[in-house]
Structure 1
C-alpha cells in the first residue's frame, strides 16, 4: 500500500471515529430511532436538492471554463465537477488537498493545459466563498435577533462569520493588489522543487526554469482573465448562490424529515459556518463538519441533540455520499481515458 492510499484510509478511519463519538455522545438509540421515523417524501426531496446543488456548482465550472477558452458541454461540466468533489472528499483538508487532482480531471475533460484546469477549479472554489459569506451574515443576523443570549456556541458562530466577512475580502484584496509579486514569489519558490523532482523521478526530464515560469504565469493569467470578466463573475456567483441555497434547503428538509421545522435563517447560518470545518485534516472534513453542524443546531434551536445528529447524517449522506459515488465513476473514466491517450502517444 503506497503512502497516499494509506493516508486516505487513515483519514477515513479518523472521520468514522469522530462520527462514532458524536453519535455516542448524543445517544445512539435516539439517533437511530429518529432516522427510522424519517419522512420518506422529505428524504426524496433532500436527494433532489443534492442533485440540484451539484448541478448548479457544476454549471459554475462550465461558466469559468467557457471564459478561459476551454468550453465543454454543460452536462459534462456537472459530471467533471462531481469528480472534483470526489477528490475533495477523499483527500485531507478538503478543497485545499483535492484541487491538484481536480485540476487534472478538468484538464483531461476539457482537453486543455493543467494550469488552465487548476485556475478553473481555484476560481470556482474561491467564488463559492462570496455567497457563503452573504448567507452566513443574513442567517446570523436573524438568529441573533431571536436569541435570548449570545451563548458560547453562538459566539463561535459569530467569530466564524466575522472571519468569513472580514478575512476573505482582505485576503482577496491583498492577493489581487500584489498578484505580480505573488507570481514572482511562487516562481522563485517552486522552481527548485520542481527541478529537484525532475532529477529524482525516473523517466521524467526536468523542465527548464523558463518553462516553469511560463506555466505558472499562464495560471495567473487565467485567474486574471476570470477576475476581469464581469459577465463570468456574475454568472458564476449566481450559480454558486443557488448551490448554497440548495445546501441550506437540504439541511432544512432533513430536519423536517425527522419532525422538526426550524427557521430557514438557522440553516443559512450553520451550513456556511459548518463548511469551514472542511479545512480539517480529514477527508472532505468528514466528522468535523457533522460535529459543527450538530453543535450549532443545538445551540440555535430547540432541536434535541440526537434529532439534530440524525438530520445532519441525512443531509450529509445526500451531499457527501452521492457526489462521492458519482465522482468516483467520473474520475475513473477520465483517468482511464487519460491513460489511454498517453499510451497512444
Structure 2
C-alpha cells in the first residue's frame, strides 16, 4: 500500500514538473533524441550497476564471504530493484539486500548488512569527491553568489567535513556501539509491550548483534587492497552515471559542460529521501532544477534529458534487478 502511494506521489511530481516546463515542448525534445546515443546511455547504466556489483564483491571478499563475482553482481542488481520499489530510496531496500546476501552466500544477516552498509559508506567518498570537483570548477569559472549562490561552496565544505566526522565516529565506535545496542534494546522492549506475541530479546542479544555488525565493518576497513578496489569500482560507477547524463544531453543536441554532470548526479541523490520508491520524482526534480539554473538549456529539454537518463535508468535497473532476483532463485 505504501509503495502504491509512493508511485502515485511520484506521478504527481512528474505531472507538476511537466506542466511547469510545458509538456508539449518536453515531448518535442524527446522526439529528436539520437537513438544511437541513447543506446550508449543505456550501456553506461548497465556498466554502472555492474561496477557497483564488483565493488560489493570486493567488500564481501574482505569479509571472507565465499561468493562468486557474478553472484555479487546479481545480488547488487536485485538489491537495486529492492531499493527502487520501497519508499525512501536507499534506506528501504538495504535490509532486503542484506537478506539476499545471507541466503545467497550462506552468511549471517549481520555480516550481509555490514557489507551493504560498508558499500554505502564507500559510495559516499567518490560521490562527495565528484560533487566537490564539479562545485570547485563552477566556483572557479562563475562568480560566487551567481545563480546557485553559495551552494557550491557548501558542497566543498561538506566534502571536507564529512570525512572528519566519519573518522571521529569510527575512533569512538565502541562507545557508539554500546549506545546503539542499548537504544535498540529499549526500542524492542517498547514494541514488544504493544505487539501481541512479540517477546523481547534475551538480555544482551541485540548488543551482540550490533557487535557482530561492527566487527564485520572492521574487517572491511582493515583489508586495504580490497577497500581500495571497492573504492575504485564505486568511483567508476559514479563516473559512468555522470557520463551517461552528459551523453543524454548530447543525444538531444543540447550539450552541457561536463562539470555540471559531475556536480548534479551526486547532488540529485539527495532526492532519495523523498518518500517514493527509490526517491522517484525527488531525484528528477533536483536534477532539473540544478541544471536549469546553471545552464542555458531550455527547461523542457532539461526535463526531457533528465527523464531519459533517470527514469530510463530506473526502469532498466529494475528490469535487470527483477531478472537477477529470479536468477538467484532465492526462496523464503
Which bin holds the TM-score, normalised by the shorter protein? over 0.9
Instruction: Measure how far apart 1:85 and its partner are.
Output: 1.2
Q: Matches of 1:253 and 1:322 in 2, distance apart?
A: 17
2:38 is aligned with 1:47: no
What TM-score does the superposition give when structure 2 sets the normalisation length?
A: 0.93
2:20 is aligned with 1:18: no
Structure 2: any 5+ residue segments left out of the alignment? none
**Contact 2:136–2:152 (Cα < 8 Å) also in 1:** no
The residue aligned with 1:242 is 236
How many residues were matched structurally? 331
Q: Matches of 1:248 and 1:48 in 2, distance apart?
A: 13
Work out which of the residue numbers 304, 322, 337 in structure 1 matches 2:330: 337
**Secondary structure in structure 2 of the residue aligned to 1:337:** coil
2:68 is aligned with 1:73: yes
Work out which of the residue numbers 283, 287, 307 in structure 1 matches 2:301: 307
Q: Matches of 1:301 and 1:149 in 2, distance apart?
A: 16
Work out which of the residue numbers 82, 85, 91 in structure 2 matches 1:90: 85
- 1:59-91 Cα shifts (integer Å, max 9, x gaps): 110000111111311111111111111222222
The residue aligned with 1:59 is 54
The residue aligned with 1:258 is 252
The residue aligned with 2:125 is 130
How is 1:1-345 mapped onto 2 (pairs within 5 angstroms)?
A: 6-147=1-142, 150-153=145-148, 155-163=150-158, 165-195=159-189, 200=195, 202=197, 207-331=201-325, 334=328, 337-339=330-332
Q: CA RMSD in A?
A: 2.0
**Contact 1:154–1:299 (Cα < 8 Å) also in 2:** no
What TM-score does the superposition give when structure 1 sets the normalisation length?
A: 0.90
Bigger drift between 168-177 and 213-222 goes to 168-177
Cα pair distance change 1:26/1:9, threshold 3 Å:
same
Structure 1: any 5+ residue segments left out of the alignment? 1-5, 340-345
Q: Matches of 1:323 and 1:171 in 2, distance apart?
A: 33
